[in-house]
Chain A
Amino acid sequence: MAAGSEVTATYYIQHHLQNLTFGRHPENGWSFAHSSTEAQEMGFWAIHVDTMGWSIAMGLLFIWLFRKAGKMATTGVPGGLQNAVEMVIEFIEGLVRSAFHGKNPIIAPLALTLFVWILLMNTLKIIPVDYFPELFARLGVEYMKIVPTTDPNATLGMALGVFILIIYYSLKVKGASGFAKELSLTPFNHWLLIPFNLLLEVIGLLVKPFSLAMRLFGNMFAGEVIFILIALLPFWAIWVLDVPWAIFHILVVTLQAFIFTVLTIVYLSAAHEHH
């Protein structure tokens, strides 16, 4: 890269970190954003089409794969796909059995969905950062950020779902009064300390989904930025850093999916427990 490389680099990074945004622009009305500023000007009333598309695609891939395995399932010796799917299901089942102490048939399927879905979405990161943006540029699409978990909207969305479940099961299992008691009388069981307890518990409750979302997003986003920075190196040197970083991300990708799943199970288990 020669003159103006700094501008190019900044542009390159910004471009790769920009989602394909469709929304209501104050001037242009409902349209795709043609720049980061335009996307920002859209404010809340915008949607990241690439995040939605890729996350739904990964969700469908998960459903298709597991449904196919389920349809072909035999009671005899399992074939390749069935074997792999069974292994994942066994893993999740073990996780739920060890971490979830209530009784709820929803938890294991929920954990399985979260784990596989996040794993698939994270795995998109292994694909070189330029492949899909370049491909979609040929097709006339300006932006394409393919890893949904590098978008806080996606991770917060999932965490919000988990949060709703936490609230729902807390109310269902403990009842409104039981839940209120838990919020106001722990950790200090004294009426004078109710405001303090309430503050502590509500913050604790709200932090749960936020930490879930931010942990996943933070890890994935940081990794993505490093990948983009590595891509700025001279082409013959890219592999020197890119390959170790990608190998490291085999770990990060599974670990983050695992952590999200385990924490979800633990939070929901806590929601089912009486104090």
Chain B
Amino acid sequence: MNINMTLIGQTIAFAIFVWFCIKYVWPPISTALHERQKKIADGLDAASRASRDLELAQEQAAQTLRESKEQASQILEQAHKRSSQMIEEAREQARAEGERLVASARAEIDQEINRAKEELRAQVATLAITGAERVLEASVDEKAHRKLLDKLAAEL
């Protein structure tokens, strides 16, 4: 039991061994540990990212749905407006057409009346002459009384 140089020799050897471990044994182990850590971190990251993505997608879907609903209601409203407008227009047109028809009918009637009047006038002159001839029992000089009779007819 005596301390001697052996102890120093062993210490030298131990120091070299420790150096060797630090240099060549520890790095691969450390790398493996770090890789594992990184893998776990990446996995957790991916998971949280995925859940965030899902949330985002859900939100987007809801947004799209809301928008499309809004659009649909807008379109519907527009259609309603358009249809009522069309009805209004049609009504307006119909009324205008009716009025036009009425007016034209009236004009025709007027024309008819005028024509009848004209005819009547013409016939009245003849009738008057005939009547007068009967009354006078004599032939009236047509030429001599023509002016007078025309004047009479015009006054009708």
Contacts and interface: CB of A to CB of B under 8 A. Distances in A.
Contacts of B117: none
Interface in A220-248: 231-239, 242-243, 246-247
B37 A128 contact: no
Contacts of B135: none
B33 A128 contact: no
A137 B44 CA distance: 54
Nearest to A242: B13
Nearest to A235: B9
A59 B87 CA distance: 96
Nearest to B20: A247
A134 interface: yes
A76 B3 CA distance: 51
Interface stretch (A77-85, A106-114, A182-190): A77-85
A213 interface: no
B5 interface: yes
A29 B54 CA distance: 78
B85 to A, nearest CB: 64
A45 interface: no
Interface centre among A80, A246, A250 (most CB of B within 10 A): A246
B40 interface: yes
Contact of B6 (A83, A127, A130): A130
Dominant SS among interface residues on chain A: helix
Max chain A CB contacts within 10 Å: which of B13, B17, B32? B13
A78 B34 CA distance: 10
A185 B121 CA distance: 150
Interface residues of A, number: 32
B109 to A, nearest CB: 100
A87 B32 contact: yes
Given A77-B44, A78-B40, A83-B36, A246 B7 contact: no
B41 interface: yes
A137 B33 CA distance: 40
Contacts of A78: 37, 40
B37 A83 contact: yes
A166 interface: no
B46 to A, nearest CB: 13
A131 interface: yes
Given A83-B33, A134-B3, A250-B25, A242 B17 contact: yes
A39 interface: no
Interface in A96-144: 126-131, 134, 137, 142
Contacts, number: 76
Interface in B1-34: 1, 3-14, 16-17, 20-21, 25, 32-33
Nearest to A11: B1
Contact of B13 (A77, A243, A250): A243
A242 B20 CA distance: 12
Nearest to A237: B9
Contact of A137 (B1, B5, B40): B1
A137 B32 CA distance: 41
Most chain A CB inside 10 Å of its own CB: which residue of B3, B10, B32, B41: B10
Interface centre among B5, B7, B9, B20 (most CB of A within 10 A): B9
A243 B33 CA distance: 26
Contacts of B32: 87
7 closest residue pairs by CB, A with B: A235-B9, A238-B9, A242-B13, A128-B10, A235-B5, A239-B13, A77-B41
7 contacts: A77-B40, A87-B32, A128-B10, A231-B10, A232-B6, A239-B9, A243-B13
Given A238-B6, A247-B17, 7 more contacts: A128-B10, A128-B11, A232-B6, A234-B5, A234-B9, A235-B10, A243-B20
